Amino acid sequence: MKGKVVFVTGASAGIGAATAMEFARHGAKLVLCARRLDRLQAMEAGLRDAGAADIFNMNLDVRDREAVQAALSNLPEGWRSIDVLVNNAGLSRGLTKFYLDDIENWEEMIDTNVKGLLYVTRAIVPGMVERNHGHVINLGSIAGYMAYANGGVYCASKAAERVITDGLRIDVNGTAVRVTSIDPGMVETDFSKVRFRGDEERAAKTYENVDPLQPEDVADAIVWAATRPLHVCVQTVLLTPVAQANAFVLTRRG
């Protein structure tokens, strides 16, 4: 990965930040975007110390199609030929019965998890196909394999990610472009705090009496997939903590 250009969306925290750090350790050039530019800027010194060849930060909301197109069309020279795209930006909002949920929650999840992924991918993949080189790595979820109570729309958004990823892999078949979905189970990030709109007490209960995955575990899987020999395409990685058997079955201590 030394000197390769890696673009990570939602890179200011959690899995995105851990992924940026892991690619930095491999000497990559990092294009990082998030809605919180200050968080990206605060990360920069640590990433350079870890070995990043260079860093280009962008304040970008992937839900804004015109902003995505403008930002990615106007990358500076030396940053345009993206070797690895990590579509990490995503979120969940609420944990409520479908028929009682706030429709704004649905809009935000679908706009970010599905449409945002599509906008960024549409802007980047034509260049990969033209160069006959590149790797798209999308962040899915165990939630994309089966629905769970009170999370139907989030699960649907991650099921969409999984099918979109499969479809893209078919569409680029015949080129050297690789397409991967990394699908984690429970990961200890700000995910639950975002889901519950800052309710830290409720968010903390998600991880009580269990050893969840850490962002670094998922980042390790992402970079592992990206560093396989170029004739190898890791199509899907489903990873969970040992305590989690599937989206429903989780054993807590005590």
CA distance 21 to 30: 9
Find, among 120, 143, 113, the residue nearest to 71 by Cα: 120
Q: Under a CB-based contact definition with an 8 Å cutoff, are residues 131 and 175 in contact?
A: no
Is residue 119 part of the annotated active site? The answer reads no
As to burial, measured by CB atoms within 10 angstroms (0-12 exposed, 13-18 middle, 19+ buried), residue 130 is exposed
The two tokens of residue 177 are 């472009």
The two tokens of residue 28 are 């990559």
Residue 6 in 3-state DSSP?
strand
Please give the DSSP secondary-structure letter assigned to residue 115: I
Find, among 90, 87, 150, the residue nearest to 120 by Cα: 87
Q: Which is the catalytic residue, given 119, 145, 148, 154?
A: 154
Find, among 172, 180, 170, 160, the residue nearest to 118 by Cα: 160
Place of tokens 């010194």: 45
Q: Under a CB-based contact definition with an 8 Å cutoff, are residues 223 and 1 in contact?
A: yes
Q: Report CA Rg, the chain.
A: 18
Active site residues: 154
